[in-house]
Amino acid sequence: MEFLSIFSIFVMACFVGYYVVWSVTPALHTPLMAVTNAISSVIVVGALIASSAAAGGSETSRYLGLLALVLASVNIFGGFAVTRRMLAMYKKKDKKPAVSNAAAK
Amino acid sequence: MEHAATPEWAMLAYLIAGVLFILSLRGLSSPETSQAGNRYGMIGMGIAVLTTLILHPVGLPFIIGAMAIGGGIGFYIAQNIKMTAMPELVAGFHSLVGMAAVLVGCAAYLNPAAFNILDSVTNEIHGASRIEMGLGVAIGAITFSGSVIAFLKLSGRMGGNPIMLPGRHIINLALLAGILGLVAYFVTDQSAWVFWTITALSFAIGFLLIIPIGGADMPVVISMLNSYSGWAAAAMGFTLGNTAMIITGALVGSSGAILSYIMCKAMNRSFISVIAGGFGDAGGPVAAGSGIAKPFKAGSAEDAAFIMKNAESVIIVPGYGMAVSQAQHALREMGDLLKKEGVSVKYAIHPVAGRMPGHMNVLLAEANVSYDEVFELEDINSDFAQCDVAFVIGANDVTNPLAKTDKTSPIYGMPVLDVEKAKTVLFVKRSMGGVGYAGVDNPVFYMDNTMMLLADAKKMVETIVKSLGH
C-alpha cells in the first residue's frame, strides 16, 4: 500500500481514538487500560509472519518470532480475560437511574 | 513499496479487525455496553490472527504450541490475580507488548524478505521501512524497560521512592539524541551495529526515565507506557503495511496519551515535570519533622460507628491506603449497614486516588458496590458542604485544602475533594507520623470537626462494622 494512503488511515485512527477515548467513563479507566493492552498485542501479526517464515530465511529470526508469539499470546489471552473479569464486577443494584451525575457528563 | 502482495480479502479482514477494536473501546463508554465491547475486541483479534495464519501457513505446529503456552500463562494470571494488584499486572503486560515489538523488529531486520520489505533492485531494506523499524524497536524497548521498572515499583519489589542520578537530564537527552540520530543514519547504512545500538540505547533510556519517578506519579507513568505500547504497534504496522496494527496503534496511543493528560491535570502537574521526576523527594522527612506536634482529636471505632449511624448522609473517600490494606469489602459492609439505618451513602473518587486511572472504581466494583453510588470528583464535590460525615480512608493529598490556599505548597492548584466542608470528618490513617506522598501536612487532621481514626484501614472498618452490628 502507498505510504500516504496508509498514513491517512493512521491519522484518521488517531482522531477516532481521541473521540472514542474521551467518551469512556472514568469509572472504567482501569478496564480501558487492560483492553488497550490486549488489543495492542495485535503486534502478534508480525510475530506470526516471523514464526512462519519458510526455510531459507534466518532461523534466528524465526525463533525470535516464536518468542514474540509467546509474549503476545500471554497478553492477548491475559488482557481480554482480566478485562472480562473486571467488567463482570461492575454492577448496578438499584434499578433507579443514576441521579445528576449522568446528566453532568 | 511492495505491500501489494497482500491479497485484497486479507486487507479487508485487517480493516474489519481494526474497526472491531474501535468498537471495543466505544463499548467502554458505559458499564452496560462494556462487556459487549470486550467481545468485539476478542473477535477482532481472532480475525487478525486467522487472516495472518491463512496468509502464512508454514510451521503451524510450532505456532500453535507457542500460542498455547503464552495463552495458558496469560489466562492463568488473569484468573488468579488480585484486583488490588491490577496496576502491576497492567505494567507487566505493557512490558510484554514492548518486548514483543522489539523481537518482531529484530526478526524483520534479520529476515526482511519474509516481511516483504526488501528492495528488489538493491536487495537492501527499504529506506522508509528502516525508519519505521528503527522507531518501532526504539519505542518497544523503551516500553519494555520502563514497564519493568514500573512493575517492580508498583509491586513493591523496588522502593517506591524516586532514585535520582546526578546529571540524569543530560544523560537522558544525550541518549534520546543518540537514538534519533542513529535512526536517521540507519536510512543510509543498514549495518547491524546501527540497529543493535538503537535497541540497546532504547532499553537504557526506558530504564533511566522511570527510575527517578516516585510511587504516586505512577498513574501518569502507567498511562504513558500504555500509550508507548500503542505507538510501537503502529510503527510495526507501518513496516508491515498492516491496517489492523496501524488502527490499533493509533487507538492505544491516543488512549494512553489522554489518560496521562487526565492524570496530570488531576495533579496540576505538567507532563514534563512528571517525566523529569523526583516529585516529593525532599519534602517527606522535613515536613514531618518540623513544627511542634499539633493537637488533634483521636476517636475509636465505636465513636465513628455512633456518629455515622446518626448521620443522614455519609460520603466515603477511598485512597491508595484502602487498596494496600484490602479494606474495600469491609467498607462495602459498613456502607450496607449504614444504608439499613437509613443513612445515604456515596463514594467520592479523586482521579489520581490509587496507582492507576480508575483503580478505586475497580476495587469498589470488586467489593460489590453499585457503580451508581460511586461519583467522580467534579460530580460530588459540591455535596460535601451538605453532608454530615466525610469518611476518608487511606487518602491524604487528594483531600488537602492547602492545594486551594497555600501557593507555596507543592500540591497548590491540584483539584481536591472538599472534605473539610462536611459537618464531621472521620479520617482513617495508620498513624499521625506519616504524611502523604507529596510530603505535605494536611490541616484537616487538626480541625475541630475532624476525628482521627488511627489504625490499619481494614481493621478499623471491620471494628466499625462490628459496632454498627449491635
DSSP letters, B312-358, are SEEEEEE-HHHHHHT-HHHHHHHHHHHHHTT-EEEEEE-TTSSSSTT
Q: How far apart are CA B71 and CA B68, in angstroms?
A: 5
Share of chain B above pLDDT 70, in %: 93
**Which pLDDT score is estimated for B439?**
62
pLDDT over 70 (residue B163): yes
Contact A18 B222 (CB under 8 A): no
Distance of CA B70 to the CA centre of its chain: 23
Distance of CA B27 to the CA centre of its chain: 20
**Which pLDDT score is estimated for B9?**
93
**Which pLDDT score is estimated for B278?**
56
Closest partner residue to B30 (CB to CB) among A11, A25, A37 is A25
Asked whether the beta carbons of B27 and B33 are under 8 A apart, the reply is: yes
B354: pLDDT confidence band, cut at 50, 70 and 90?
A: confident
Q: How far apart are CA B162 and CA B283, in angstroms?
A: 12
Can you tell me the mean pLDDT for B265-279? 76
A60: pLDDT confidence band, cut at 50, 70 and 90?
A: confident
Q: Tens digits of per-residue pLDDT, A3-59?
A: 888 899 999 999 999 999 999 999 999 999 999 999 999 999 999 999 987 656 678
Lowest mean pLDDT among B173-187, B264-278, B322-336: B264-278
Contact B24 A39 (CB under 8 A): yes
Q: Tens digits of per-residue pLDDT, B306-337?
A: 999 999 999 999 998 898 888 999 999 999 99
Contact B49 A45 (CB under 8 A): yes
Q: How far apart are CA B302 and CA B460, in angstroms?
A: 10
**Which pLDDT score is estimated for B438?**
60
Q: How far apart are CA B28 and CA B36, in angstroms?
A: 9
pLDDT over 80 (residue A100): no
pLDDT over 70 (residue B351): yes
pLDDT over 50 (residue B291): no
For A47, nearest residue in chain B (alpha carbons):
B104
Asked whether the beta carbons of B402 and B470 are under 8 A apart, the reply is: no
pTM: 0.87
B397 has catalytic annotation: yes
Beta-carbon contacts of residue B181 (< 8 Å; ≥ 6 apart): none
Asked whether the beta carbons of B85 and B155 are under 8 A apart, the reply is: yes
**Which pLDDT score is estimated for B437?**
59
Size of the A and B interface in Cβ pairs below 8 Å: 400
Mean pLDDT of chain B: 87
Q: How far apart are CA B189 and CA B199, in angstroms?
A: 16
Lowest mean pLDDT among A96-100, B406-410, B422-426: A96-100
Q: How far apart are CA B428 and CA B269, in angstroms?
A: 27
The C-alpha cell 446528566 sits at A103
